[in-house]
Structure 1
Amino acid sequence: MSEKNKYTPYSILELASVASNSTPEETFKRALDLAQKAEDFGYHRFWLAEHHNMISIASSATAVLIGYIAGGTKKIRVGSGGIMLPNHSPLIVSEQFGTLGSLYPNRIDMGLGRAPGTDQVTAQAIRANRMHAVYKFPEEIGEIQQYFSTENMDYKVRATVAEGVDVPIYILGSSTDSAHLAAKKGLPYAFASHFAPTHLFEALNIYYNNFEPSEYLQEPYTIACINVIAADTDKEAERISTSMLRMMIGVMTGNIDYIQEPIDLTPELKEISENPAFQRMLKYAFVGSKETVKQETQEFLKKTGAGVNELMVASHIYHHEDRVNSYRIFSEVMNEI
């Protein structure tokens, strides 16, 4: 991989995290406010993730939220990070995103993944033949591409609102499987290094070494996701990060709860955060002041070199004002790097 370009676009992955003593309605309004401010901060995209049956995440009706965010912003790209395709019919996904692409031209992205975004019981309730659809993931991406093509006008089954509409497809992954697929199909690739960092470099190498140019993309394009919690001081950021730590403990122990108010870092929390398994999962969680986050971000970009074209940031922060401030600080970091 060659020396990377100086400017790296930066974006947001939004899970619509629900804080304790809050409601989904309030969460949606805060998400829109964040998107509006992110637009002013220079963020390139605002993607929403799909999750189900989790009280702490309200982005279950992902396409609906994309329309809400796109309708309340002016220029930032809005999309899915991602739609978990085995949960859905390719025809319905095409109709939904074709509609979004017509309503908000040149602003909608379609990120597609194959994970359930939930537990197995809920996944079965979403789509009974889901596992069959998992194995057909490459073929179902092809079906969506067909529905968006103008050539599909001659077919019996059509997504008429999608034909000829420009909605780029991104392949999402947290292991090496999707890297092979994205390379073979000549599509951009987004890696979930914010929670699955282990295979980041292997996946990037597979993607770059096997990339086949296509009508959609002539050169490889990658997005890597990281966690960032930035504040005015390291100590303040550490305190704010306890909400994320407690959330991750809940995920790892199966006791998922609302995002909790930050607390002082207790010896117990500190010990858990230093656990090797915990450290591996949050390897790319940059917590601290502007200077601290800047140093860690620069190191990450230096290690990945030209392998990462764009950074996407996730954050689990209790107070909305702290989240906005964190994203503001990170935008300053990216403009100084």
Structure 2
Amino acid sequence: MQIENTAYSILDLALVSEGHTYKETYNNVLKLAQHAEKFGYERYWLAEHHNAPNIGSNATSILIGYVAEGTKTLRVGSGGIMLPNHSPLVVAEQFGTLSSLYPDRIDLGLGRAPGTDRETALAIRSDFMSAAHSFPNELEKLEMYFSKDNANAKMRVPVAETNKVPFYILGSSTDSAHLAAKKGLPYAFASHFATTHLWEALKIYRKGFNPSNNLEKPYIIAGVNIIVADTDEEAQRLFTSLIRLIVGIFTGKRDYVQPPTAMTEDLREILKHPQVHQMLKYSFVGSKTTVKAQVKEFLEQSKVDELIAVTNIYDINDRIKSYELFAEIMKELNSAN
């Protein structure tokens, strides 16, 4: 079966590797983005997370500006802004400003999860739970601030009214699929870690999609873990850093990205654990030949419009190489159509 041309992008959490400072981490974010631009990536999204020492993407809009300033054509955006953490007015001001500085290059991906634990969410915004439950209403407020029809309102964000910033609904469950379909917005599913509801969410979104001024037909982005190296063995070695990260999530002992080691029997056993296996279900690891076959199968099954790759590797040069090889894979798959 042939697959349609598929865009390919990057999702980055600005993970901090052991022995690296935040400054070095941010420098590496920009370095990777500059290479991604050369490799033909569509967009470079930065996530929002809080109260985790190994994640540097806390002030997402600031990092977006940093990456946009250091690149020329790459789309840069949020994957995503967790809207219940923020005032819609402030988000409109931030992204309206970013779009003024970098016209036609800024994306606004929006999610409803806190990107942290409950205590931190309440420290960020005391009415977080209420805002999370009213996510559709918060989204409408944001849309209003970006609308030219709001020009005569008492409460305005003029810098947003003059800029067209595309919205994307992010999700890891079926709730977000319903909302994205109803609003006629593009939908990005976090299948790089939330694998359970992928197929049902895609079905709901496609079946319920309501064409809008933003989008005529459904547009789906799927997150996948990608680690590509010269050989399967080398890719498996690089994969060990991600496995240890996942163990840290399940055990509550979040740590910096560890240097890779040889793949051991103990680590292979961890991969067989039901929770770990489910979480890493859409992780494509290996040589170009191996990963190309895995990606091709996933695209044929899912028929998504875009893949957004998450590559959690300790060393920036290994990361860049993996993303370069993945770009080659996507170009080869697209040219085969």
TM-score normalised by L of structure 1: 0.98
Provide the secondary structure at the position in 2 that maps to 1:241.
helix
The residue that corresponds to 1:315 in the other structure is: 311
Identity of aligned residues (%): 58
Cα shift readout 1:227-270 (whole Å, capped 9, x = no counterpart): 00110000000001100000000001110000000011222211
**Separation (CA, whole Å) in 1 of partners of 2:191 and 2:259:** 25
**Separation (CA, whole Å) in 2 of partners of 1:187 and 1:142:** 13
1:44-193 → structure 2 map (5 Å cutoff): 44-193=42-191
The residue that corresponds to 2:228 in the other structure is: 230
The aligned amino acid for 1:333 is I
Q: CA deviation at 1:6?
A: 2.7
**Separation (CA, whole Å) in 1 of partners of 2:106 and 2:73:** 10
Q: CA deviation at 1:285?
A: 0.4
Q: CA deviation at 1:277?
A: 1.5
**Separation (CA, whole Å) in 2 of partners of 1:140 and 1:104:** 25
**Separation (CA, whole Å) in 2 of partners of 1:118 and 1:4:** 40
**Separation (CA, whole Å) in 1 of partners of 2:188 and 2:267:** 31
Matched, 1:35 2:33: yes
Cα shift readout 1:296-336 (whole Å, capped 9, x = no counterpart): 0001001113xx11000001100111000000000000011
**Separation (CA, whole Å) in 2 of partners of 1:56 and 1:274:** 25
Cα shift readout 1:117-140 (whole Å, capped 9, x = no counterpart): 011111110001000000110011
Cα shift readout 1:205-248 (whole Å, capped 9, x = no counterpart): 10010001111111111100100011000000000110000000
Give the root-mean-square deviation of aligned CA atoms: 0.9
1:201-216 → structure 2 map (5 Å cutoff): 201-216=199-214
User: Structure 1 residues 216, 194: closer, same or farther in 2, change over 3 A?
Assistant: same
**Separation (CA, whole Å) in 1 of partners of 2:134 and 2:215:** 23
Provide the secondary structure at the position in 2 that maps to 1:237.
helix
The residue that corresponds to 2:282 in the other structure is: 284
Provide the secondary structure at the position in 1 that maps to 2:77.
strand
The aligned amino acid for 2:120 is T
**Separation (CA, whole Å) in 1 of partners of 2:71 and 2:329:** 23
Q: CA deviation at 1:40?
A: 0.3
The structure 1 segments of at least 4 consecutive aligned residues displaced by more than 3 Å after TM superposition are none
**Separation (CA, whole Å) in 1 of partners of 2:216 and 2:145:** 22
The aligned amino acid for 1:294 is K
Unaligned runs of 5+ in 1: none
Q: CA deviation at 1:5?
A: 5.4
**Separation (CA, whole Å) in 1 of partners of 2:275 and 2:133:** 29
Matched, 1:324 2:317: no
**Separation (CA, whole Å) in 2 of partners of 1:35 and 1:72:** 8
The residue that corresponds to 1:334 in the other structure is: 330
The aligned amino acid for 1:52 is H
1:12 to 10, 13, 26: 10
The residue that corresponds to 2:249 in the other structure is: 251
Cα contact 2:187–2:219 (8 A) shared by 1: yes
The residue that corresponds to 1:220 in the other structure is: 218
**Separation (CA, whole Å) in 1 of partners of 2:261 and 2:117:** 29
**Separation (CA, whole Å) in 2 of partners of 1:277 and 1:162:** 42
Cα shift readout 1:140-197 (whole Å, capped 9, x = no counterpart): 1111111011111111111111113110000000000000000001100000000011
**Separation (CA, whole Å) in 2 of partners of 1:239 and 1:17:** 18
**Separation (CA, whole Å) in 1 of partners of 2:62 and 2:56:** 12
Unaligned runs of 5+ in 2: none
Cα shift readout 1:42-89 (whole Å, capped 9, x = no counterpart): 000000000001111100000000000000000010000000000000
**Separation (CA, whole Å) in 2 of partners of 1:156 and 1:171:** 28
The residue that corresponds to 1:271 in the other structure is: 269
Q: CA deviation at 1:276?
A: 1.7
Q: CA deviation at 1:202?
A: 0.5
> How many residue pairs get matched?
333
